[in-house]
A and B are shown apart, each in its own frame.
Chain A
Amino acid sequence: MDRYVCQICGYIYDPEQGDPENGVEPGTPFEKLPDDWLCPICGAPKDDFEKE
């Protein structure tokens, strides 16, 4: 599973970790994140992420 980097703040979405604080289970691939998921650091939408 690919890791994705926020182009605004540099946060890395790691599918192995997920984003449990915002209800995303570990093991969730980036593509399966809900459309309204936002970068947990800076609030950027998924569009602002690029594959690492």
Chain B
Amino acid sequence: MKPVEIASGIYQVGVIDWNIRDFHGYSVEGTTYNAFLILDDTVVLIDTVKKEFADQLLANIAEIIDPKKIDMVISNHTEMDHSGGLPRVMHAIGGEKPLYCSKMGQKNLIQHFGDRLNLQALENGQEISIGSRTLSFLETRMLHWPDSMFTYIKEDQILFSSDAFGQHYAGYEMFDDQIGDAVMPYAKKYFANILLLYTPKILKLVEQITDMGLQIKIICPDHGILWRSNPETIINAYVEWSRQEAGKRAVVLYDTMWKSTRLMAEAIADGIAETGVAVRPIHIRSSHRSDIMTEVLDARAIVVGSPTLNNGLFPSVSDVLTYMKGLRPKNKIGAAFGSYGWSGESVKLLNEALADMKFDVMEESLKIQYVPDKKDLSACREYGRKIGQAVISRVG
């Protein structure tokens, strides 16, 4: 990717990682590590890239200016997809140059790279003049690491938002007006997998930004597309997703050994669909947990099915439940079902897991021994209709 001037004297100098498919357990089809160069009396670099792309970042910078002319670097976030290139970049521009970060960033960067960097901790709200522009810094702790912060340029009304508002998307499009609505599924998946557990903080942050009267022309996240044609689109989407008021939609997540739990899953989904509630049955081993989370974000009812294997849950179901629990979805109806051979613990374990996530668990659940017959499948459809009705009565 060649550097692109996003505003007068401000460049996106980041890189495209076309080949990444597994991003710490989240499935992606490539992503970008965005970094930003600001030319002013003081030359500033905001964030770097993953370690193996550091030379590409330096080559991009060199197309605009000799990297040695960079006077300061800002690290908005310590995670290694943005900081991994820091040691290489600091060495190339002159290791004594200041590296600004939040207070937590200072602690965390030391725990990543030792104490050889010239780290300068910023106060929340601090401002630094770089000539014709003023940079200000807003701590955004736990969005999504303790060190996370935003950098804002008042004069250009540009917000460098670190991972917030980002998406794992790789392409030659750089701005929302170039890609259109096609970016939203990527933004939603990012939200569901990275930010969902911090929704109370997100709502507070949006309120804070509104109260501050922050004018925003461009939002520059550290991954994917930059929002310039209508930055409110993504802010409004974050507010909507953070409220977690899913509509008339359910998801049936299941795994199966001899297709009995699958037969149940599809009959339950049929019953839910009969009530007019949108539903998808998802076979867990045919899907990725990160795509499942996007479905969970949109669904009011989370219906989970597992066979009983060796007196326990099927392992792929436990995987999804563990991942889901960490992301703390809210306002969900939970329901459980499964086929079993002789002991049949899975449904009880599923109900416990759903209750542990503070879901509103249906009083009734469904377990069927061995292969469901016609009567059993009719019971599954009836159970599906009850789940559908519960969704409708909750959503209205």
Cβ-closest chain B residue relative to A9: B142
Q: Mark B258-301, 1 if CB is under 8 A from A, else 0.
A: 00000000000000000000000000000000000000000000
Complex CA distance for A48 and B146, rounded to whole angstroms:
15
B198–A43 CB distance below 8 A: no
A33 CB to closest chain B CB, in angstroms?
18
User: Hey, which chain A residues are within 8 Å of B141, CB to CB?
Assistant: 41-44
Contacts of B222 in A (CB 8 A): none
Instruction: Determine if B104 and A8 form an interchain contact, defined as CB atoms under 8 angstroms apart.
Output: no
Q: Which chain A residues border B146 with CB–CB below 8 Å?
A: 9, 41-42
Q: How far does the Cβ of B141 sit from chain A's closest Cβ, in whole Å?
A: 4
Q: Mark B71-87, 1 if CB is under 8 A from A, else 0.
A: 00000000000000000
Residue of B with least CB distance to A41: B146
- The B6-63 residues at the A interface (CB cut-off 8 A) are none
CB distance from B39 to the nearest CB of A (A): 33
Q: Which of A20-52 contact B (CB under 8 A)?
A: 41-44
Q: Which residue of B lies closest to A43 (CB)?
A: B141
Which residues of the partner chain A approach B142 to less than 8 Å between Cβ atoms? 8-9, 42-44
B200: chain A residues within 8 A (beta carbon): 8
Q: How far is the CA of A41 from the CA of B200 in the complex (A)?
A: 17
Within 8 A of A (CB), among B183-241: 198, 200-201
Chain B positions within 8 Å of A43 at CB level: 139, 141-142
Instruction: Please state if A41 and B104 are interface contacts (CB–CB under 8 Å).
Output: yes
Residue among A9, A42, A44 with max Cβ neighbours from chain B (10 Å): A42
Task: State the CA gap A1–B164 with chains docked (Å).
Answer: 38
Whole-angstrom CA separation of A44 from B141 in the bound complex:
9
- Complex CA gap A43/B109 in Å reads 18
CA distance A42 to B200 in the complex (A): 13
Give complex CA distance A38, B52 in Å.
37
**CB-CB contacts below 8 Å: B100-156 with A:** 104, 139, 141-142, 146
A8 close to B139 (CB less than 8 A): no
CB distance from B257 to the nearest CB of A (A): 35
Docked Cα-Cα span, A34 to B141, in Å, equals 20
Q: List, in ascending order, chain B residues with CB within 8 A of A41's CB.
A: 104, 141, 146
- Select from chain A the residue with minimum beta-carbon distance to B140: A43
Shortest C-beta distance, B379 to chain A (Å), equals 39
A50 to B317, CA, bound (A): 29
**Assembly CA distance A42 to B141 (angstroms):** 5
In the bound complex, what is the Cα–Cα distance between A41 and B102 (angstroms)? 12
B348 to chain A, nearest CB (A): 26
- Complex interface: chain B residues within 8 A of A9 (CB): 142, 146
Give the nearest-CB partner of A48 in chain B: B200
Report chain A residues within 8 Å CB of B104. 41
Q: Nearest Cβ in chain B — how far from A37, in angstroms? A: 15
Q: Once bound together, how far apart are the Cα atoms of A44 and B146, in whole Å?
A: 11
Measured in the bound complex, the distance between the Cα atoms of B201 and A9 in whole Å is: 11
Q: Please give the distance in Å from A11's CB to the nearest CB on chain B.
A: 9
* Shortest CB distance A27–B (Å): 25
A8–B201 alpha-carbon span in the complex (Å): 8
How far apart are B256's CB and chain A's nearest CB, in angstroms?
Answer: 34
Return 17 A-B CB contacts under 8 Å, by A number.
A8-B142, A8-B198, A8-B200, A8-B201, A9-B142, A9-B146, A41-B104, A41-B141, A41-B146, A42-B141, A42-B142, A42-B146, A43-B139, A43-B141, A43-B142, A44-B141, A44-B142
A-B interface, 9 closest residue pairs, ranked by CB to CB distance from nearest: A42-B142, A43-B141, A42-B141, A41-B146, A8-B142, A42-B146, A9-B142, A8-B201, A9-B146
| Known A8-B201, A43-B139; further 11 A-B contacts with Cβ < 8 A | A8-B142, A8-B200, A9-B142, A9-B146, A41-B104, A41-B141, A41-B146, A42-B141, A42-B142, A42-B146, A44-B141
